[in-house]
Structure 1
């Protein structure tokens, strides 16, 4: 049985969640992981310890043909990487799975996703001049993992993609989040969702984050300065990490509208206390599974899309902010203590649930 999530602990995060309180509440979205944990002790390049992995998000599952997945991109602070975003900024869509891993494994993940796409969409690639432009993002896990040993292999990326499924999503020390640190507590993968009602119809906004950012003194939970109270076992004087945020929805939105939704991830992570440190790659992608259609090379000259009036966006922005904020807390609550491989201390500790609740009670938040 896993650790309790934020709402299970009684933390009063606002908003109505979907069934799983996860990005998989968005119809069609699937998430899979490969998690690699091996060895202890000081780092020896090429030998370990290994604490890393790959997270795969399939926005429309294993569809038989490449179709545009409408998207918008925003970087609050660009000290990081997400491939494929030049085309997203120009064309407003991507056609690949999204993979998240560590900083030095972006290349092999890109290579593996390209191979998967060629096999999955074999007819399109063999019959036409199609190309793969995968979306692969990263955060740095070198405090906990032999990152320079580059232990992620092609088969690990493919395994994460093949493991992708709908339903509940594991959090904490899993997938690309395995070796991550958040507000100097053990960080990792987190997720949450919100239900949005527009003109009598129900939609979902879900977030999945890889949290590797923030200094302890910044940490804020539901407006409470938790980091000012939980001061034991700190690690850094300067921020050393990043955060990747992926927001998915079934709302029918145009690419420029999705870019505006992606921007709201900055407000979501800001509620947790981070100002977006200099060393942090705060990189955000929002996509919609609505408006499925053939890729342009196989489409007619005149196309049409359904989209929402900008005047109804306030609850959508609110949902995105809330889901991102709660995802970060869920990532920390699910994480497990892990030994360090770099000399900042012996371990990075998971946040203590009871001590967190004590602080929240001091401020009458629960």
Structure 2
């Protein structure tokens, strides 16, 4: 049974979401999961896949910008994103020890999906694969995730509502010492009569309980039971998508605002936390640069009009993290064994926001 999302609990988040309040509100964006759970094997992990656009026989550039608040983690392909302002193909998120297998599987999926493109000349694949550490709730050294799991997640990607909490790569994750995982939200922004969508998806595996704030309320100072740790030991991956026409520089500014988004919930960005963010735009579809003419033309928003978009980025990430937490279910640890990571008490959380 799906648990109520944060808004359904009565939490008064600002801004106007899209119809699904998810990254899939961005036209063409699809999300898929492979979720691996087997208590007998200490298995609680998986793969989350994001397909940014509806490609045809060949991939198209996805304009992008990247930012790392704290680099204790991995997101592949970012060197090229920072130099070229784009990537091609999917984005996948998994656990720390699954990056290689997922990269291998995603590359295989790209070669098979764009067979004609890869069959001609010397095309190359450099997919984006990110991770957070799930070794408390999952036997991460068993390396349960395989390339086939990545392919399955990619093949399952669809538009529409997005599952949250213990799904895909978020299956074994902990946030603010509650069961965390996958969360998503979106916002709509209008400029000059045109409405655009900003969507975020997070893999939330970060934060200490005393830091937790929800819409300015210091929840972690009041809900102190069942704590798990006394120092930061996790990470958070944030993926931001939009259909607004933006340059690579603008998208890097979007990615930077993810630090404010996660900061609204209380994290200062701990030393052991890999806080790594990527923003992409599906606007301006064009052929791959190596197959294009010498000159290209793109439409981009004037930077003077971006402040409402920056606010939408921050708000969607703030809500995504709380959606990940309220979707959580109790989970038992494997290392050390037998400790229950509790789901947040959503009734108690909601009570902080009921009128007196």
Tell me the TM-score normalised to structure 1 length.
0.96
- Residue in structure 1 matched with residue 25 of structure 2 by the alignment: 25
**What's the CA shift for 1:12?**
0.3
Helix, strand or coil at the partner of 1:8: helix
Which residue of 245, 250, 269 corresponds with 1:252?
A: 245
Aligned residues: 356
1:102 aligns with 2:95: yes
The match for 1:334 among 308, 327, 337 is 327
1:153 is the counterpart of 2:184: no
Matched, 1:229 2:183: no
Structure 1 stretches of 5 or more lacking a match? 41-47
Q: CA deviation at 1:360?
A: 3.6
Which position in structure 1 is the counterpart of 2:164? 171
8 Å contact kept, 1:141–1:179: yes
Deviation string, structure 1 residues 177-204 (Cα, Å, up to 9, x no partner): 0000000000000000000001100100
Contact kept, 8 Å, 2:326 with 2:343, in 1: the verdict is: yes
For residue 38 of structure 2, what is the aligned residue in structure 1? Answer: 38
Cα distance in 2, alignment partners of residues 260 and 173 from structure 1: 30
C-alpha distance in 2, partners of 1:202/1:285? Answer: 22
1:13 aligns with 2:13: yes
Once the two structures are TM-superposed, the CA of residue 297 in structure 1 deviates from its matched residue by 1.1
Contact 2:88–2:127 (Cα < 8 Å) also in 1: yes
Q: Give per-residue Cα distances to partners, 1:32-73, cap 9 Å, x unaligned.
A: 000000025xxxxxxx31000000000004532111000000
Give the TM-score, by structure 2 length: 0.98
3-state DSSP class of the match of 1:123? helix
Q: Distance in 2 between matches of 1:155 and 1:60?
A: 22
Report Cα offsets for 1:248-273 as digits up to 9, x if no partner. Answer: 00000000100000100000000000
- Counterpart among 340, 347, 350 of residue 347 in structure 1: 340
Q: Kindly state the Cα deviation for residue 274 of structure 1 after the two structures are TM-superposed.
A: 0.1
Q: Is the 8 A contact 1:229 1:359 kept in 2?
A: no
Moved over 3 A (4+): none
In the alignment, structure 2 segments of 5+ residues that lack a partner are: none
Cα distance in structure 2, aligned partners of 1:258 and 1:357: 34
Deviations 1:274-332 (A, max 9, x none): 00000000000000000000001110001110000000011000000000000000000
Distance in 2 (alpha carbons) for counterparts of 1:177 and 1:352 = 19
